[in-house]
Chains A and B, each alone.
Chain A
């Protein structure tokens, strides 16, 4: 069965610092992997996705994630945090039959 684990329900970084949000997945087949962002009182927006092409995936707003099969990880990074990045981030996995399983989310706080 597919599942994701997000390490750290809350992460705080200083403005301009590196953002690293961790996600590990479990899947019985090569998965599709996603990161979504949710701003307050909004729905989830797709940030980036891995679909078995390049292992380093670039998304919107300078976010990127690297698929590491050996580590079953798909961590999200951004070189320099901006105040507008404060939001909740969800990692998600799908084994390709449309059903998507979401992680529990990580709230990112950016400190000025």
Chain B
């Protein structure tokens, strides 16, 4: 298996623009997580899905953030409009079961200027 695949690896955008981050989880994993990593706040859970259904989005910082999982092999995290404080590394992770641990993608480094 190729692991969790995220795209793009790097994204530079101007403030106010829409940004879409993409994730393909490992086949067969029922849970998908979106995390944000910054120097100030470390690794924060934004939202997670089970069988394509959002279970907990309490970590989504504002209404500007939205996430979807239209099918078992694809998820998006959208920021509209983007702001400089959204600059961070965004990780997607998938889990088959808690005891097996999470598998992370390589992340998308977002820079909003």
Interface residues of A (CB under 8 A from B): 32, 34, 36, 41-46, 49, 51, 90, 94, 96-105
CB interface residues, B 55-101, toward A, < 8 Å: 55-56, 91, 93, 95, 98-101
CB nearest to A42 among chain B residues: B106
- Listed A/B pairs (24) with beta-carbon separation below 8 Å: A32-B98, A32-B99, A34-B102, A36-B101, A41-B106, A41-B107, A42-B106, A42-B107, A43-B91, A43-B104, A43-B106, A43-B107, A44-B43, A46-B102, A49-B100, A51-B99, A90-B43, A97-B98, A98-B55, A98-B95, A99-B45, A100-B45, A100-B98, A103-B42
B-side contacts of A99, CB under 8 Å: 45, 48, 56
Residue B7 at the chain A interface, CB threshold 8 Å: no
Which chain B residues lie closer than 8 Å to A41 at the CB level?
Answer: 106-107
Check: B21 CB closer than 8 A to any chain A CB. no
Report the minimum CB–CB distance from A35 to chain B (whole Å): 10
- Distance A100 CA – B106 CA, assembled complex (angstroms): 18
How many angstroms from the CA of A105 to the CA of B103 in the assembled complex? 17
Given the complex, which residues of B lie within 8 Å of A97, measured CB to CB?
98
For the complex with contacts A43-B4, A100-B102, A105-B42, 5 further pairs of A-B residues with Cβ separation under 8 Å are: A34-B102, A43-B93, A96-B98, A98-B48, A100-B45
B31 in the interface, Cβ–Cβ < 8 Å?
yes
- In angstroms, how far is the closest chain A Cβ from the Cβ of B37? 9
Cβ contacts under 8 Å, A51 to chain B: 99
A49, B99: Cβ atoms under 8 Å?
yes
- Selected from A49, A96, A102, the residue in CB contact (under 8 A) with B43 is A102
Interface residue from A90, A94, A98, A101 paired with B50 (Cβ < 8 Å): A98
A94 with B98: CB separation less than 8 A:
yes
Q: What residues on A are CB-neighbors of B105 within 8 Å?
A: 43
B42 surroundings in chain A (CB, below 8 A) = 102-105
